[in-house]
Amino acid sequence: MTRVADESALVLHARPYRETSAIVSLLTAAHGRVAVVARGLRGHRRGNWMQPFNRVRASWSGRGGGLATLTGCELERHAWLAGDSVASGFYVVELVSRLLPEHEAVPAIFAAACWVLERLEAGDAPEVVLRVFERRLLEELGYGLDFARDAETGADLEPGGQYVLHAGAGFVAASSAGRGFPGAVLLDIGAERYQSRAARVAARKIFRQSLSPLLGPRPLASRRLLTGKRA
C-alpha cells in the first residue's frame, strides 16, 4: 500500500466517475502524473478546486501503479486564466498528459508547468512563455537542442549563417543560401530573447517540429484552440 500525504499537485483534468465521484489527473514533482479517484467530489466545494490549472495539496493511497484514492485535498492556488491564456493553458496540460509517463518523478517539469501557468495568469505573452516551456520540456525528456553549436562540426553558430534542423541531432549548416534558420535568430532563441517576431516564429516551428515525433500522429486538441493566435 502506497500512502502520500500533503503533496503539492497541479490539476491537469477531471472527468465524472460513477454518480458523485471523479477521476482526477494530477501532476506532482515527486510522483509525476498520478490518477486518483475523488469520491463524492461532484456537488462538493472541492469540485471547484479540482479544475484544470489549479494547485492543491493532495493526499492519496493505493496499491501498485494503478488508480489511487484521494484521501485529502486543500486548495493551494486558484488559477485565473482568461482569453487566449485559457487555450494556452490547455496546450500545456495536453503536452504534459501526452508526454509524461505516470509515477515518475519530474521536479523540473512540474516547476516549469507551474511557472508557465503563473506567467499566463499574469498576462505574459503566450507566444513567449509557451516557447520557454516547450524548450524545458524537451530538455527534461532528453531531446534538448543546442542553439549555440553546429551539431556536425561543433563550431559556434555564425550569426550570418543559415542552419537546418536535423531531427535527433541538432542544427547543421544549410547546403544552400537562403535555406533554413538564420544563425542570429537561433542564437536569440538560445538566449531566450524573443523581442523579434523572427525569433518567435522560428521558435514555434522548431519546437513544434521537435515535439511532433514524440506526440505521434494523433493531433493535439488544444492546437485547434490556438490556431490563429500565434502560439
If asked whether residues 217 and 145 sit together in one domain, one would say: yes
Torsion angle of the four alpha carbons 106, 108, 109, 110, in this order, in degrees rounded to the nearest 10: 80
Q: Among 38, 56, 77, where does a domain finish?
A: 77
Is residue 108 in a domain? Answer: yes
If asked whether residues 98 and 212 sit together in one domain, one would say: yes
CATH of the domain at 204: 1.20.1440.120
Q: Among 58, 77, 96, where does a domain finish?
A: 77
Is residue 231 in a domain? Answer: no
Range of the domain at 177: 84-226
If asked whether residues 115 and 154 sit together in one domain, one would say: yes
Q: How confident is the model at residue 231, as a pLDDT?
A: 64
pLDDT digits (tens, 9 = 90+) for 167-204: 888 999 998 766 899 999 999 999 999 999 999 999 99
Using the predicted structure, report yes or no on whether residue 11 has a pLDDT greater than 80: yes
Is residue 137 in a domain? Answer: yes
pLDDT digits (tens, 9 = 90+) for 27-80: 999 999 999 999 876 655 665 778 999 999 999 998 766 789 999 999 999 999
Using the predicted structure, report yes or no on whether residue 229 has a pLDDT greater than 60: no
If asked whether residues 114 and 206 sit together in one domain, one would say: yes
Band the pLDDT of 13: cuts 50, 70, 90. very high
Is residue 219 in a domain? Answer: yes
Is residue 96 in a domain? Answer: yes
Using the predicted structure, report yes or no on whether residue 227 has a pLDDT greater than 70: no
49-to-18, 41, 79, 149 alpha-carbon distances in Å: 19, 10, 10, 45
Is residue 94 in a domain? Answer: yes
- Please report where in the chains the cell 516551456 appears, as a residue: 133
pLDDT digits (tens, 9 = 90+) for 79-104: 999 888 999 999 999 999 999 999 99
Q: Among 77, 111, 144, where does a domain finish?
A: 77
Per DSSP, 192 falls in state T
How many distinct structural domains can be found in the chain? 2
If asked whether residues 202 and 220 sit together in one domain, one would say: yes
**Angstrom distance (rounded) from CA 7 to CA 187:** 38
Is residue 222 in a domain? Answer: yes
Is residue 104 in a domain? Answer: yes
Mean pLDDT for 98-118 is 96
If asked whether residues 211 and 179 sit together in one domain, one would say: yes
Strand segments, DSSP code E, in 84-192 are: 162-166, 170-173, 181-182
If asked whether residues 48 and 91 sit together in one domain, one would say: no
Q: How confident is the model at residue 18, as a pLDDT?
A: 81
If asked whether residues 73 and 94 sit together in one domain, one would say: no
**Angstrom distance (rounded) from CA 135 to CA 133:** 5
Q: How confident is the model at residue 46, as a pLDDT?
A: 62
If asked whether residues 33 and 110 sit together in one domain, one would say: no
